[in-house]
Amino acid sequence: MDIELSSEDLAFRDEVRQFFKDNAYKPGDDYNQWRLDWFKKAREKGGWDVPKWPKDFGGPGWTPTQHYIWEQETARATLPWDMPFGVGMVAPIIMGYGNEEQQQRFLPDIRARTVNWCQGYSEPGAGSDLASLKTKAVLSEDGSHYVVNGQKIWTTAAHIADWMFCLTRTDDSGKKQEGITFLLIPMKQEGIEVKPIITLGGNHTVNTVYLTDVKVPVENRIGEEGKGWTYAKGLLQHERTGLAGLSRSLVALEGLKENARSVTRGNGTLMDDGSFRAKVAELEVDLLAAEYTELRSLASAQAGAAPGPESSILKLKGTEIQQRIQKLTMEAGGVFSAAWGDKSVGPKFARGGMAGYLASRAYTIYGGASEVQKDVIAKNVLGIKRSSK
């Protein structure tokens, strides 16, 4: 595996950095207008507004190495707010399994960021064991629409979403992975109730969604009836790689070191404390090891391989590393990390440290809990089969 950047890759990195510099947000500017202008200019660069989309659908057609460079640079730059569910999650499913009419109907608005999407996967009894979902979709007698009844939970951004891409059960007579159908459901309609869930960190990002006799036109079904599990698995592999957040963790780790150097400890700083420095060093070693796993994955992609079980390794280790960074940040802030609200107490970075730490508890749950990732790794990486007993 060659991890050295070529002269072409270095030139691309410089171009990306210059673009971010030229289009950076300036304090006082209208944020919403800057956001729209940024995506417009990124599109004019040749698909930079949808970097992971295939060239046939308007993406840039980058190599895996260029994608890696983009992830590294975006972790350091200030980019416009962007929801992942449309551009990064449902769009690839529509491209890969939707028909031409669905692609023409949904993709332009997704790319323009004029609609918000949410993901209707988890249920009260089907979180980590997603295939056990019970939300039922029954096809009408005339075959024109489905009637959907059920409950989804931990649905991020459902309260601001216009659409939900949803896994529903259309047949429960066979294996639980079979009989699952992928539907696109408008959120602003009768029969859909969204109730907020306030997380440990005091934030409202996730929700419970109740679906009662919700009508979904059959033309909103992606692919074949009963094949939704196949489509969902491909999406999850891409999602898990993104949730690893290794590029963001590299930047966050540097920020942690800088913050620790601002905290007085005896005659020096917290970074001079042997115990704390050892924790940071151990974290950095683990992060670099995970990054090499990501580089190996990129090398496989460069050779034409599709995302595979290595996405579970990245998700498992990447989210654990994110949690450890949050924990050490809270530790660096000391007693001041427990301060809530806008009142300035102690080091600036410490304010809300506890909220960040509590919120990070979810990192190893969403996108498939760590136990699920370990099961995938055991079966598909280590080749360990379940006992028949």
Q: In the predicted model, is pLDDT for residue 333 greater than 60? A: yes
Looking at the predicted structure, is the pLDDT value of residue 275 above 70?
yes
Domain boundary pick from 66, 82, 98: 82
In terms of domains, do 370 and 250 share one?
yes
Greater pLDDT, 39 or 309: 39
- Would the pLDDT of 1 be above 50? no
Q: Quick one: 251 and 376 in the same domain? A: yes
Quick one: average pLDDT of 237-245?
Answer: 64
Residue 253 and residue 346 in one domain? yes
Q: How confident is the model at residue 367 (pLDDT cuts 50, 70, 90)?
A: confident
Output the domain CATH number for residue 258.
1.20.140.10
| pLDDT 10s digits, 101-157 | 999 999 999 999 999 999 999 999 887 778 889 999 999 999 999 999 999 999 999
Q: Which residue has the tokens 């963001």?
A: 248
Contact 96, 234 (CB under 8 A): yes
Residue type, 8: E
Does the pLDDT at position 232 exceed 90?
no
How far apart are the C-alpha atoms of 153 and 130, rounded to whole Å? Answer: 12
SS (H, E, C) the chain: CCCCCCHHHHHHHHHHHHHHHHCCCCCCCCHHHHHHHHHHHHHHCCCCCCCCCCHHHCCCCCCHHHHHHHHHHHCCCCCCCCCHHHHHHHHHHHHHHCCHHHHHHHHHHHHHCCCCEEEECCECCECCCHHHCCCEEEECCCCCEEEEEEEECCCCCHHHCCEEEEEEECCCCCCCCCCEEEEEEECCCCCEEEEEEECCCCCEEEEEEEEEEEEEEHHHEECCCCEHHHHHHHHHHHHHHHHHCHHHHHHHHHHHHHHHHCCEECCEEHHHCHHHHHHHHHHHHHHHHHHHHHHHHHHHHHCCCCCCCHHHHHHHHHHHHHHHHHHHHHHHHHHHHHCCCCCCCCCHHHCCHHHHHHHHHHCCCCCCCHHHHHHHHHHHCCCCCCCCC
Segment 49-55 mean pLDDT: 93
CA atoms within 13 Å, Cβ hemisphere of 341:
3
Same domain assignment for residues 75 and 162 = no
Residue 231 lies in a domain: no
In a domain, 333, yes or no: yes
**Same domain for 190 and 270:** no
**Which has the minimum average pLDDT: 72-81, 215-224, 342-351?**
342-351
Q: Band of the pLDDT at 351, cuts 50, 70, 90?
A: confident
CB hemisphere CA count around 219 (13 angstroms): 7
For range 195-218, the mean pLDDT: 93
Range(s) of the domain holding residue 13: 7-82
Is 178 a known active-site residue? no
Indicate the average pLDDT of the chain.
Answer: 89
CA-CA-CA-CA torsion for 325, 362, 228, 171, nearest 10 degrees?
A: 160
CA distances from 380 to 175, 181, 275, 383 (A): 20, 25, 38, 5
- Mean pLDDT over 296-318 rounds to 73
Across 12-21, 126-135, 329-338, least confident range = 126-135
Last residue of some domain: 63, 82, 101?
82
On whether both 264 and 329 belong to a single domain, the answer is yes
What CATH number does the domain containing 139 carry? 2.40.110.10
Angle at 223 between CA 165 and CA 107, to 5 degrees: 55
For residues 158 and 164, is the Cβ–Cβ distance under 8 A?
yes
Residue 85 and residue 89: Cα distance in Å, rounded?
A: 5
357 and 252 assigned to the same domain: yes
Distance of alpha carbon 372 from the chain centroid: 17
Contact 124, 153 (CB under 8 A): yes
pLDDT score of 297 = 73
Count: domains in the chain: 3
Answer yes or no: do 375 and 269 share one domain.
yes
Alpha-carbon span 238 to 354, nearest angstrom? 30
Instruction: Say whether both 75 and 134 belong to one domain.
Output: no
Instruction: Report the alpha-carbon distance of residue 202 to residue 197 in Å, rounded.
Output: 10
- 84 touches 73 (CB < 8 A): no
Whether 91 is in a domain gets the answer: no
Using CA atoms, how far residue 63 sits from 32, 52, 157, 240, 301, in Å, is 31, 10, 32, 20, 9
- Digit-coded pLDDT (tens) for 247-262: 889 989 999 999 999 9
Domain boundary among 38, 67, 82: 82
Mean pLDDT confidence for 325-329: 95
Inside any domain, residue 300: yes
Q: Which residue in 71, 225, 239, 320 is the catalytic one?
A: 239
> Do 249 and 221 have their domain in common?
no
For 140, 326, 351, 360, the CA distances from 348, given in Å and listed in that order, are 58, 15, 6, 19
Residues 281 and 319 in one domain: yes
What percent of the chain is predicted at pLDDT more than 90?
59
pLDDT surpasses 90 at 60: yes
For the entire predicted model, the pTM comes to 0.84
Higher-confidence residue of 242 and 113: namely 113
End-to-end CA distance of the chain: 41
Are both 251 and 356 inside the same structural domain?
A: yes
Q: Is residue 357 part of a domain?
A: yes
Q: Does residue 272 lie within any of the structural domains?
A: yes
Q: Has residue 239 been placed in a domain?
A: no
Please state, in angstroms and rounded to a whole number, the distance separating the CA atoms of residues 368 and 236: 8
Mean pLDDT of 329-334: 93
In a domain, 88, yes or no: no
Q: Closest Cα to residue 151, out of 138, 169, 139?
A: 169
The percent of residues above 70 in pLDDT, for the chain, comes to 92
pLDDT at 388: 56
